[in-house]
Amino acid sequence: MDASLRAGVAIYNAGRYHAAHDAWEDPWLALDDDTDDERFLHGLIQFTAAVHHARTRNWSGATGLAGSAGDYLSDLSSPYRGVALDPIRRALSTLAADPEVIERRRPPPLRYDGRALALADLRFEAAAVAARVLAGADGYDPAPIDRAADFAREEIEGDERTLFTTLVMEFVTADAERSLVYRRLADHVERREREYADVDGLFGP
């Protein structure tokens, strides 16, 4: 959950408010209802949805989600799992009362362990989550991203070269050049898979 949490925080702080919830959705769905962790992730998901609706001028959607997100987060300690909730609760109260505030000022950053976590701050496992989320949000096939992450884990475990680790991290942080990084990453994934297939062929029947 922690890697997904950090990934979503950094994606949100990059201004990808709608995409941020995708980092949290799977961990949230795996939780039992009405636990603190479930309310926490449910509240964050609805917070980002409220921000997204406000930015697209869906005022009723924004106010409704802001109210329910505030309810989910109301009884949790701040920080919770490293995330400062007091600024979020204040932003939700403001958004519920005046959703057009989003047109006058940016929503507050999410702070994790006291920092407004950026994509470049993510360690590998959180970056791998962010890479998959951003691939889906930007219309890329996530399969090469997943394979690159698998190869990167092999590099990390084997203390090998860091080609795939670097490519995954670059895909997350590249932004304007993400399509170029994706093509490079996919090419290297295809090449590595051919290498594995060639080795398997040597020992096959």
CATH number of residue 111's parent domain: 1.10.3450.10
The last residue of a domain, from among 119, 144, 160: 119
Question: How far is the C-alpha of 12 from the C-alpha of 171, rounded, in Å?
Answer: 16
Which among 24, 15, 29, 36 is positioned nearest to 129, based on CA atoms? 24
The predicted structure's pLDDT at residue 160: 60
Instruction: Tell me which residue has tokens 């490519």.
Output: 167
- pLDDT tens across 43-77, in order? 999 999 999 999 999 999 999 999 999 999 999 99
82 with 127, same domain: the answer is no
Closest CA to 119 of 107, 131, 102: 131
Report pLDDT for 10: 98
Is the domain of 32 the same as that of 85?
yes
pTM, entire model? 0.90
**What is d(CA 41, CA 141) in angstroms, rounded to the nearest whole number?**
26
pLDDT band of residue 105 (cuts 50, 70, 90) is confident
CA distance 85 to 82: 9
Tally Cβ neighbours within 10 Å of residue 177: 12
Q: What is the pLDDT of residues 143-172, one digit of tens each?
A: 999 999 999 998 887 666 689 999 999 999
Residue with tokens 């609706």: 53
How many domains would you assign to the chain? Answer: 2
Per-residue pLDDT for 203 more than 60? no
